[in-house]
A = this chain, B = another copy of it.
């Protein structure tokens, strides 16, 4: 399979003045007669390489446009943007044809919005004055801001809990789209778990990501409604060597050993589903696991630095393994410290989650930090919204999480309160709709 999206290098404006984007929703409307689409902007090839850029400023230019169409959906190997709005949807009592119509409507709107366009033809401020606008308008002056919109299908789309095959697709459910097992100490809240469909909107501007979810939700009115949703900021994993490693709310670098989009061999082998895996319609797709992980940060903040570093298995400053070196030095799990015990504790997060300890299993993580106000005791309702992509959760997320749930010393400071698993189909061909192969 050719792959012009991996690594997905953003389109940069040629104008050197960072305050003047080259493309905005408003600008698009001024281009009378010119089609709205990826054709408007060039797509660069190649990768920026390992430029040392600040975590704060490694996000792309506001006018970055990632192509919506392609062999894979964008938002997976795309260098992680800074902001997230994720939504899980319940599909109402509609027919198979109506579901296809919804996916088609979503596809058209997503293709428009990812270029910096409005969700609908008329936009928020023109068209019939006696009808509601077909775009809500809050992103009218904003450029694309690296927006990607990624769609996924949950297990319940294939059959309900009662086994009803609502859309005639039960036989096509991929074996890899399992119901996630109960993990030790799971504290899942039903209202923040599951869902028939999901949409991950990522952008460097939160208003652009929110605008995307809001308009897709508006378009779904009467057909699907939001079951749960999550805003996030400060991505917790770099997915490209052009990005520095960001920090999670434990204050540690997160994602040092993450799969990077430049490692195309690893991505092909461990992230993209393959026709040979059993569900041919998922070829070029991936499986998304989301976990809402609440951190008890007030307790963490009263833990000694030495204890924090032993829990993580890395230093807090540079982020190198406790066995020494620099951030990207491979951890030496055999190195002994005092008492002849491994200097990287065997129950540390880095030891338990390392591929060497998990039969080589890796994940492409793409999570975000969140703070959703505070609880009754004045503690911040904060944590990590974990998102990981993989070829098969049965051999990747599930065994890794089983080990972590049973052994990780970090468990004292985290609580998994939300969860979802979704089959993310391959990219969309122009004129078609997302997931068309499932209904073919």
Q: Using a CB–CB distance below 8 Å, which chain A residues touch chain B?
A: 16, 18-21, 24, 51, 53-58, 62, 83, 85, 87, 89-90, 124-133, 135-143, 145, 191, 205-208, 210, 213-214, 217-218, 221, 225-231, 233-234, 244, 246-252, 297-298, 301-306, 308, 315-317, 369, 371-374, 376-380, 382
Contact = CB atoms under 8 A, between A and B. Distances in A.
Contacts of A248: 138
14 contacts: A55-B141, A89-B378, A124-B317, A127-B305, A128-B305, A131-B304, A133-B316, A137-B247, A139-B247, A140-B251, A191-B376, A210-B233, A225-B378, A228-B373
B305 A133 contact: yes
Q: How many copies does the complex hold?
A: 2
Nearest to A55: B141
A19 B53 contact: yes
A301 B20 contact: no
B19 A143 contact: no
Nearest to A315: B125
Given A54-B142, A138-B369, 4 more contacts: A18-B57, A55-B141, A56-B143, A128-B305
Contacts of A21: 54, 56-57
Contacts of A225: 377-378
A304 B206 CA distance: 26
Contacts of A16: 16
A9 B381 CA distance: 34
A67 to B, nearest CB: 20
Contact of A244 (B57, B90, B141, B305): B141
Contacts of A138: 234, 247-251, 369
Contacts of A374: 87, 226, 228-229
A127 B297 CA distance: 20
Nearest to A208: B56
A298 B218 contact: yes
B141 A54 contact: yes
A53 B147 CA distance: 20
Contacts of A205: 56, 234
B62 A57 contact: yes
Nearest to A90: B378
Contacts of A57: 18-21, 62, 143
A315 B58 CA distance: 37
Contacts of A246: 141
Contacts of A208: 56
Contacts of A24: 54, 56
B226 A207 contact: no
B252 A137 contact: yes
A241 to B, nearest CB: 15
B54 A231 contact: no
A379 B217 CA distance: 9
A306 B130 contact: yes
A132 B226 CA distance: 40
B317 A126 contact: yes
Contacts of A206: 83, 206, 233-234
A372 B372 contact: yes
**5 closest cross-chain pairs (CB), A and B:** A137-B251, A225-B378, A125-B317, A207-B234, A226-B378
Contacts of A132: 301-305
Contacts of A19: 51, 53-54, 57-58
A54 B133 contact: no
Contacts of A315: 125
A23 to B, nearest CB: 10
A59 to B, nearest CB: 9
A58 B379 CA distance: 33
A140 to B, nearest CB: 6
Contacts of A128: 305
Contacts of A252: 137
Contacts of A382: 210, 214
Contact of A54 (B143, B207, B229, B369): B143
Contacts of A127: 305
